[in-house]
Amino acid sequence: MPFEEMLNVFSPREDDPLLYQPYEINLEQVEWIHKFLPSVSFDFLKYSYFIEAYSAEE
């Protein structure tokens, strides 16, 4: 998932420009997520889903 696209899709808070905090996934974002993870299914009646980023610099 391109990080720049994630910024547009999830609209991070001003104090969290790198998406380190969890952001809830809703139906509007599922189509975008399926472009990268087509086999992932969501059951919004049973579960809440979140996305967050982390740094893996070496």
Give the pLDDT confidence of 1-58 residue by residue, as tens digits: 888 899 999 989 999 998 999 999 999 999 999 999 999 999 999 999 999 888 777 6
Q: CB-side exposure of 26: number of CA atoms within 13 Å? A: 5
The number of distinct structural domains making up the chain is 1
In a domain, 58, yes or no: no
Domain assignment present for residue 13? The answer is yes
Is residue 56 included in any domain, yes or no? no
Alpha-carbon distance values, 5 to 9, 17, 33, 44, 54 (Å): 6, 13, 10, 23, 16
pTM: predicted TM-score of the whole model, two decimal places: 0.77
Structural element, H or E, at residue 32: helix 27-36
> Crossing angle for the helix pair 27-36 and 3-10, nearest 10 degrees?
170
Q: Which domain holds residue 38?
A: 3-51
The verdict on residue 57 lying in a domain is no
